Structure formats: structure tokens, C-alpha cells
Amino acid sequence: MGKIPLIIQREYLTRVTKKSFLVMSLLGPLLIAGMMSLVVWMGMAENENQKLIVVDDLNPAFSTLKSKGTQRIQFVYTDLSLDDAKAKLLESDFTGILYLPENVLNAKSAQLFFKKHPSSFVLRSIEKKVEGIVESLNLVQFGIDKEDFYKVKSTVTLHPILYSKSGEKQDDTKEKAYVGFAFGLVIYMFIFLYGVQVMRGVIEEKTSRIVEVIISSVKPFELMMGKIVGVALVGLTQIAIWVALTFGIMMIGQTAIYESNFGVDKVTEQMTPEMAKQLEAANAFNTKELIDENNIIFRIQWPQMIGWFLFFFLGGYLLYSALFAAIGSAVDSETDTQQFMLPVTMPLVFAYVMSIFIIENPEGPAAFWLSIIPFTSPIVMMVRVAMGNVQAWEMALSCTLLVGTFVFTVWLSGRIYRTGILMYGKKVSYKELWKWLWY
């Protein structure tokens, strides 16, 4: 008949051309990217230039702590006593005192007096500097060769590896579960946002009294499905824009931040040759980790993940938005929706909350059942899919139930809808809704 496409088109275009859609589309990624860069930026911007008085009880052991020019952290090596330095600190532009007590080589601890709390980034870089000097002094003191030392010095990392019949596998379920959780969260958010939009749309048609004009041309069911599908497309468009923009903004942001903060000359200028060597090694290690095929980004199977995401997003959305449409049809205004909203939103919120626990216990019965039951599966199953421990039959069962249930809720809602949209000025009860099913 070609009328559903017409309805879909209208529902889609009126929403996509709204200013609020444009604002959301731009603001969403900006917010995400903004928050991410804020975290990075705060770590960097916080470390205002530091100018420190170095008080060294082992004078001149730490005399290499001297810097020229303008660096972020300026060390001014002195032969003051701590008390004199303290007196000087308050009446000068120094930001702090680095105090290296006599026992620093044994106790391996120093003190930093400050006027304003420095960032952890600053603390860590001072720590590293002092550590390096303490290390080399101790090497000399105990007569240990530098090369021997680096052979002996060890940092141990523990890699948990899952062993099962199919062989060994790196145990990264938790990392993957977080990725899955993020997908589930997006589904949860969008079902809510767009389900409510469907409901609002139905209420709008009802209160503006246009609905009777329309259903003299199309069947109520066609109108309902047109709206549901149209809004779904709006949701998918929004997701696509967000993904594209977020990636775009992050790429630009990353480059900008990297260039302004890690300009090569700035860093190397103040380094001793061996420090430079160390840094180089560390850098090499970092890049190696990034392109490591074991990195979380490479261990997630993206095509599969995105495929299931679309399936569960659409399935869950259809299931819930049909119910939201039915609610919209049964009431006269948005304020009357509350009594019907609760039973619809409860399983959704429940699934969201439970998926946090499921990250901790992905093999338990809760994870299994909630990923099978269609009202919770769209969110919970995403966590399990990401972890990759779903059996084929479980997936088949979950999908079949989800499809079956959304067909059922769409049918159910269609029956409530066709009666509801023509009912005005009536306080509707559940008993009433039950009757409508059988008209």
C-alpha cells in the first residue's frame, strides 16, 4: 500500500530536522570527547610551573638536581638549612622545598614542602628524578655495576590465563565485560530515550486530535508501526553521528594534545644521556603495548559485536517501544503515564543494574537467565557477547525468544492502541486495558 513508508518518512524527517536533534547530535560527542580530554588536560594543566628549593643534607650528593632555562619543574640547588629554606619559601616566589634528609639513601624517602598542593603528575616526576639519583648513588656505594643492576632489577606482572578444554586463553573477561557493558548501556539509554519519544508522539497525535483524521486513511496498526520504525531510524542515525563525530573529535584532540605537551625538544633537553636511553626504552615498550595484538581493542571482535548490538538494539527497542506506544494511546496526557510506566521501565532498569553484577560473575545463573529472558536480554546479553562465553544454543534461544516476544508485544500493543487512541477523558485502569484486548 505504500502508506507505512510515508508515515516512517514523516516521523523520521520531523524528528531529524528538529533543532534539538541537531543539538543532541553535536553535543553528545562533544560531551564525551570533552570529558575525556578534560581528564587528560586536568592532569597536565594542573602542574603549574614549580620552582623548588633543594635542601640537601648530604651536600653535594644531589647537586645534579639543578636546572637551567625555564622548565616545568625548576630545581634550585642550595646549601641552606631546612629552617632557613622554610623562612625563605614564604617570602619568595618559590613554590616548595624538596628536602633530602641525611638518611635518604637508606630510608628512600624525601620530603616536599609546598604552598599549594602540586598535582600527582608533578609529584611523580620529582619522585622519579630523586629515585634515579638515589639509585645511582646506592650503586656506587655498594659497588654494583650498572648493567648488573638492570639485569637484577625486576618488575613482575601477573597475567591470568584461562585454561579450558579448548586450550588456553588470556583471561581478559573483565576488560571485555566493560566493553560489553558500554554497549549494553547504549542500548539501555536508547530504548529509554526513543521509547519515550514514541510514547510522546502517540500522546501528541491523541491530544492534538489528528489521530482520527489519520486512521480514516490508514489502519491504526500501520500508524503505530510507522511511528516505531521511524523513531528507530532516528535512533540509529543519532548513534551513527555520535560514533563518527566522537572518533573525529578524539583524533583531532589527541593530535593537538600530543603536540602541545610532548614536543620532543622540551622533554629531552633536560635529560642526562642514560635517562634519555631509559625513556627511549620505555617509549618503545609503550608503543609495543599499543600495537600488541593482545591489546583489548584488538581482542574484541568488532564486526560480531556490532552485528549483535544492532540486533539486540532493534529487538529490545521494538519490544519496549511497542509497550510505550500502548501506554501513550491509553492516556490523555503525559502526566497520566506514571502508573503504566513503572512495570515497563522496571525490567529495563533491573537489567541495567544487574549487568554491573554480571561483570563480576559472568558464568553464574543470573547471567544465564537474564540473557535469555527477552525483557532483560538486550542489555545483559551484550555483556556476555563481549566476553565471548555464549554457547550457540544459548544465543539461538535468546534471539528466538526476543523476536517472539517483540512480535507478541507489538500485537498486544496494537490491540490496546487501536482502542486507546479514540478514547478521551477516561481514566484508564489495567482492567480496562484488558477489556480493550478483546474488542
Partner 1 sequence: MAEEIFRSENITKRYANHLALDEVSITVEKQSIFGLLGPNGAGKTSLIRIINQITAPDSGTAYFNGEPLSPEHIGRIGYLPEERGLYKKMKVGEQALYLARLKGLEKRVALQRLKEWFVKFEIEGWWNKKVEELSKGMQQKIQFIITVLHEPELLIFDEPFSGFDPINTDLIKNEILALRDRGTTIIFSTHNMESVEELCDHIALIDNSKKILDGKLKDIRASHRSNTYKIGFRGGFQNLKKGLNGHALISEENEDEVNKAKIKLADGSSLNTLLQALIPHVELEFCTEEIPSIRDIFIEQVSVNKGR
Binding-site ranges for partner 1 (CB under 8 A)? 3, 6-7, 10, 14, 204-205, 208-210, 212-218, 422, 424, 435, 439
Which of 239-248's residues contact partners 24+ apart within 8 Å by CB, and which partners? 239/186, 239/190, 241/25, 241/28, 241/29, 242/25, 242/28, 242/29, 242/32, 245/25, 245/26, 245/28, 245/29, 245/30, 246/28, 246/29, 246/32, 246/33, 248/29
CA distance 142 to 125: 26
Q: Which three cell numbers stand for residue 337?
A: 503515564
Nearest-approach distance from CB 330 to partner 1, in angstroms: 14
CA nearest to 380, candidates 396, 393, 389, 369: 369
Nearest-approach distance from CB 411 to partner 1, in angstroms: 18
CA distance 81 to 43: 33
| Residue among 212 and 259 whose Cβ is closer to partner 1 | 212
CB 233 within 8 A of CB 12: yes
| Residue among 233 and 245 whose Cβ is closer to partner 1 | 233
Task: Please name the residues in contact with 216: beta carbons below 8 A apart, sequence gap of 6 or more.
Answer: none
Nearest-approach distance from CB 19 to partner 1, in angstroms: 11
Nearest-approach distance from CB 233 to partner 1, in angstroms: 17
Class of residue 217 by CB neighbours under 10 A (exposed 0-12, middle 13-18, buried 19+): exposed
Q: Which residue has the cell 498486544?
A: 412
Q: Which three cell numbers stand for residue 31?
A: 560531551
| Residue among 10 and 174 whose Cβ is closer to partner 1 | 10
Nearest-approach distance from CB 232 to partner 1, in angstroms: 20
Residue 3's φ and ψ, nearest 5 degrees, are: -90, -30
Nearest-approach distance from CB 239 to partner 1, in angstroms: 24
CB neighbours of residue 382 within 10 Å = 29
Helix (H) or strand (E) holding 74: strand 73-78
Nearest-approach distance from CB 71 to partner 1, in angstroms: 59
Nearest-approach distance from CB 6 to partner 1, in angstroms: 6
CB 337 within 8 A of CB 429: no
Sheet with strand 111-114: strands edge to edge: 73-78, 50-56, 96-100, 111-114
| Residue among 7 and 55 whose Cβ is closer to partner 1 | 7
| Residue among 218 and 373 whose Cβ is closer to partner 1 | 218
| Residue among 207 and 261 whose Cβ is closer to partner 1 | 207
Nearest-approach distance from CB 362 to partner 1, in angstroms: 46
CB 250 within 8 A of CB 31: no
| Residue among 67 and 329 whose Cβ is closer to partner 1 | 329
| Residue among 219 and 299 whose Cβ is closer to partner 1 | 219
Q: Which three cell numbers stand for residue 373?
A: 529472558
Nearest-approach distance from CB 334 to partner 1, in angstroms: 15
Class of residue 57 by CB neighbours under 10 A (exposed 0-12, middle 13-18, buried 19+): middle
| Residue among 155 and 216 whose Cβ is closer to partner 1 | 216
| Residue among 214 and 267 whose Cβ is closer to partner 1 | 214
Q: Using CA of residue 144, residue 149, residue 152, residue 157, what is the dihedral sign?
A: positive
